[in-house]
């Protein structure tokens, strides 16, 4: 024969008024606790997750001011350093150097070549006596148009996008995969 239901069994129609009150108080306390936790932890979670929800940006994907057009009126390459603000997770670094470019006038148009050697990433210099570009790391010579004339670089110097406005020349600095024949942007 089954036991007779106890008056303390949960949900029993025989619950006393005091146990019902205890249940209501417990549920209310749990709800308040959950609300308090959400209030305290919510902003913390949002703060910690901030870099996950927002694309980390470097600023270097944008066009970067390189100087006035009057600076680049010759066919002789001029080296410009490009600075931009970097935003990395929670940090913002103002005006950090993101790269350099050789800029010259060619056929009425400005051309910018990255100074990063496509071979293994050393800096490419301009050799005034030969009027050519030269990477001393493994002795690659590049023509003024950036093409490889001699040495191990697998491709020409990487051309960068140039935006020429009335008062300002801007360059979009990008990095490309090293040691490969094709120009493949990184990132
Ligand atoms: S890094 Fe320029 S030739 Fe090797």
Residue 10 has pLDDT above 60, yes or no: no
27 versus 43: the higher-pLDDT residue is: 27
CA-proximal residue: ligand 1, atom 3 (nearest): 138
CA-proximal residue: ligand 1, atom 1 (nearest): 120
Residue 5 has pLDDT above 60, yes or no: no
Q: Could you tell me what percentage of the chain is helix, strand and coil, using 3-state DSSP and rounding each to the nearest 5?
A: 20, 35, 45
Cβ distance 114 to 120 under 8 Å? no
pLDDT value at residue 28: 65
> Distance between CA atoms of 97 and 1, rounded to whole angstroms?
86
> Distance between CA atoms of 71 and 81, rounded to whole angstroms?
13
pTM over 0.85: no
Question: CA 75 from chain center: how many Å?
Answer: 33
pLDDT value at residue 31: 65
CATH class of 63-172: mainly beta
Token readout for 58 is 């470097």
Ligand 1 contact, 162 CB (< 6 A): no
Q: Where are the domains of the chain?
A: 16-54, 63-172
What is the Å distance from ligand 1's center to 75 Cα? Answer: 24
Mean pLDDT value across residues 105-123:
95
Ligand 1 contact, 125 CB (< 6 A): no
Q: Which residue's entry shows tokens 């070549």?
A: 113
Question: CA 100 from chain center: how many Å?
Answer: 17
Residue 13 has pLDDT above 60, yes or no: no
């Amino acid at each position: 024969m089954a036991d007779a239901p106890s008056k303390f069994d949960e949900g029993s129609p025989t619950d006393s008024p005091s146990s019902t009150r205890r249940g209501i108080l417990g549920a209310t306390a749990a709800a308040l606790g959950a609300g308090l936790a959400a209030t305290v932890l919510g902003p913390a979670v949002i703060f910690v997750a901030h870099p996950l929800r927002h694309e980390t940006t470097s600023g270097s994907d944008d066009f970067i001011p390189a100087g006035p057009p009057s600076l680049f009126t010759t066919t002789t390459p001029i080296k410009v350093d490009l600075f931009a603000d970097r935003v990395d997770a929670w940090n913002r670094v103002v005006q950090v150097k993101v790269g350099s470019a050789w800029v010259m006038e060619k056929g009425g148009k400005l051309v910018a070549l990255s100074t990063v050697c496509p071979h293994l990433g050393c800096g490419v210099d301009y050799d005034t006596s030969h009027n050519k570009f030269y990477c001393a790391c493994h002795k690659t010579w590049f023509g003024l148009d950036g093409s490889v004339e001699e040495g191990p670089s697998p491709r020409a110097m990487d051309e960068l996008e140039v935006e020429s406005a009335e008062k300002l020349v801007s360059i979009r600095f990008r990095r490309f995969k090293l040691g490969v024949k094709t120009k493949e942007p990184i990132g």
